[in-house]
Structures are given as C-alpha cells and as structure tokens.
Chain A
C-alpha cells in the first residue's frame, strides 16, 4: 500500500528513484542514442568533454519533458494499466514536486547546452521541450488522433540538436534524420496502440485505433512505413551518406515494410494475441537503433 505523503504538517520527501522514473529512462535511451549519432555523424571534431556535456544536456531535456508530461497526465495515467504504476498515479510522489523537478531540469538542460555547445543548439533544445510539453502533451494528445503524427516532431529533434551542437548550423543530412524519426513515429506508436487499444479508450485519449478504427489504423501504418522507408534510403542517392548506410537502410526498411504489410493487411479477431503488431513494435525500436548506428559507421568507415 502507498504511504501518505503528508502528515502532521510534514511532507514525505520524494524518493530519488521516483524522480528518476519520472524522466522516462527507457525513452531517454533512444533520445540519447539518436542525439549521439547526430553529433558523431557531423563533420569536424568535437572535444569529448563538450560532446559528453551536449549529450547530457539533451538527455536532461528529454527527462524534463518526460517529467512534465507525467505531471500533466497523472490523471490519465491512473486510468491505464500500462501507466498506473508510475510515481504520480501510484501516489508515491506529490504533483508539485514533479512540476518543480521538471521545470528545474528543463532550465538546467538548456543552460548546460548553452555553456557546453552553442546558442543554436540551446534554442533547438528549448523548442523541442516546449513543443513536447505544450504542443504535444497539452494541446494535440487529448484532442486529435493526429497527435502522434505532429507530436512525432518532438522526438525527432535529438539528432538535429546533436548535429547543431557539433557544428553550430543545420545541414540536409540531420534534417533527413529528423524526417526519418518523424515518419517512423506513427507506425511505431500505432502498432503499440493496436495492442493496448482498450487502455487508451479507457483513458479517453483519441488514439487512431480508438477514433478511426482498427482497419484505418492498419492502412495508415502501412502508408507511413512506405514513405518512412523512402526517407530512410534518401540520404544515399542524394549523396549525403555512402553505400554502408545505403544498403543497411534498404535491407532494414524492406523488413520494416514487410512487417507493416503483415499488420496492414490483416484483421484481428476475438482473443487475437496481436503478435504481428507486437513484432512490428519491437522491430521498429531495433530499426531506429541500427539505422542511426549505420549513419555513424558510414561516416567513420565510408565504403
């Protein structure tokens, strides 16, 4: 049973593990990896300490966004099985501590980026935090089934910020990497939404399967997977990467589209285990890790 957070005028201090959980560490790992790849794929040399600090700033910014998202959505999280155990809905943390922690972490992350890298990267980091909290969490998510499509931009910022932290300017390759994550987000989240549909419906979040139905969601997963594959391969024929990245992108994207065809052309019956959807969701995470790893490998060892 949860412990009361206040008693006799005393407030139980938050456990640091709960504050850490507030930053969504698993999401942060993908953010850190894509940001690091953006930084390493950039031309020129970055001092290792400055590179580490810039990546730390991006990680802290992502953590702050996650904390503010959980603070705002505590009521919704309590209604979903998947999120009911989080520190706020479980009653292990009081909302004010979460809010102060999120705002403080966001401000510090931008300050650290400004000190370690440049004002352009700090500005982009600020924009990504504000976009995630105000545009995605507060505005889009509770209102439209397109929440994931437009909100995907928030998760697409890290490689761009990593590149700008290293160079001080924007170039076509990080913009294409931004586009890749932007287009990857809908099939990734809609695959998840298909097998936790009842959770989203219970919380009243207008995710695509809840609003437009399963059939339409499946078709849209396939549509986005195809244009995402085109965006993933594009840096090779455009001359921004070499054959190492090119062939990796071709093979992985072909597999992504194949898995999406399985999801896009089937209908789930009563008691369906949703295995193709779970397979696509799991593969989509590995896809992004491998593809971004290939961007760096191609930069370091061009074929």
Chain B
C-alpha cells in the first residue's frame, strides 16, 4: 500500500497564559480609553445643548 494516511483534522493550537494576559491587558487599556473618551463626549454634549438652548 502506497496510499498516504488521511490528514489529521485541524485542531486549533492551545493558547498560553502570556497570550491570555496580553489580550486582557490590551482590552482593558482600550476600554479605559473609550470610557474616558465617552465621559468627555457626554460632557461636551451637555455644554453644547446648554449653548443651543440659551
């Protein structure tokens, strides 16, 4: 028999803890920036609405 054996089904690589921590930190940073930006945006919207309604 010269037939090659069927290929193994593709299984995703297991992730290591360093990758887990890296993604967690990256998302936490992104969330912090977005929350900060939203706080500033809502503050500016409030000021703008006060100016428009004057």
Is the C-beta of A265 less than 8 angstroms from some C-beta in chain B? no
Question: Which A residues are CB-close (under 8 A) to B24?
Answer: 13
Give A47 to B10 CA distance when docked, in angstroms.
Answer: 55
Total number of A residues with any Cβ neighbor in B under 8 Å: 21
Would A50 and B20 count as touching, CB distance under 8 A? no
Would B52 and A50 count as touching, CB distance under 8 A? yes
Question: Which B residues are CB-close (under 8 A) to A3?
Answer: 12-15, 19
Give A49 to B52 CA distance when docked, in angstroms.
Answer: 11
B interface: dominant SS:
helix
Would A4 and B23 count as touching, CB distance under 8 A? no
Would A49 and B44 count as touching, CB distance under 8 A? yes
What sequence of 0s and 1s flags, for each residue 6-37 of chain B, a beta carbon within 8 Å of any chain A beta carbon? 00001111110001100110110010000000
With contact pairs A49-B45, A50-B49, A50-B52 given, residues A12 and B12 touching in the complex (Cβ less than 8 Å)? no
Give A14 to B26 CA distance when docked, in angstroms.
Answer: 10
Is the C-beta of B39 less than 8 angstroms from some C-beta in chain A? no
Would A4 and B49 count as touching, CB distance under 8 A? no
With contact pairs A7-B14, A91-B12 given, residues A15 and B45 touching in the complex (Cβ less than 8 Å)? no
Total number of B residues with any Cβ neighbor in A under 8 Å: 22
Chain A min CB distance to B17 (Å) = 9
Question: Which A residues are CB-close (under 8 A) to B45?
Answer: 49-50, 53, 115-116
Is the C-beta of A300 less than 8 angstroms from some C-beta in chain B? no
Is the C-beta of B1 less than 8 angstroms from some C-beta in chain A? no
Would B52 and A4 count as touching, CB distance under 8 A? no
Is the C-beta of B51 less than 8 angstroms from some C-beta in chain A? yes
Question: Which A residues are CB-close (under 8 A) to B51?
Answer: 47
Question: Which B residues are CB-close (under 8 A) to A56?
Answer: 41
Question: Which B residues are CB-close (under 8 A) to A7?
Answer: 14-15
Is the C-beta of A2 less than 8 angstroms from some C-beta in chain B? yes
Chain B min CB distance to A108 (Å) = 9
Question: Which B residues are CB-close (under 8 A) to A4?
Answer: 11-15
With contact pairs A13-B27, A14-B23 given, residues A1 and B13 touching in the complex (Cβ less than 8 Å)? yes
Closest to A48 in B: B48
Is the C-beta of A10 less than 8 angstroms from some C-beta in chain B? yes
9 smallest beta-carbon distances between A and B, as pairs: A4-B12, A49-B48, A13-B23, A47-B48, A3-B15, A16-B30, A49-B44, A2-B12, A12-B15
CB-defined A-B contacts under 8 Å, sample of 22? A1-B10, A1-B12, A3-B13, A3-B19, A4-B12, A4-B13, A4-B14, A7-B15, A10-B20, A12-B23, A13-B20, A13-B23, A14-B23, A47-B48, A47-B51, A49-B44, A49-B45, A49-B47, A50-B52, A53-B41, A53-B45, A116-B45
Known interface pairs A5-B12, A15-B23; 5 further A-B residue pairs with C-beta atoms within 8 A, sorted by A's residue number: A3-B12, A13-B27, A47-B52, A50-B48, A53-B41
Task: Give the A-binding residues of B (Cβ under 8 A).
Answer: 10-15, 19-20, 23-24, 26-27, 30, 41-42, 44-45, 47-49, 51-52
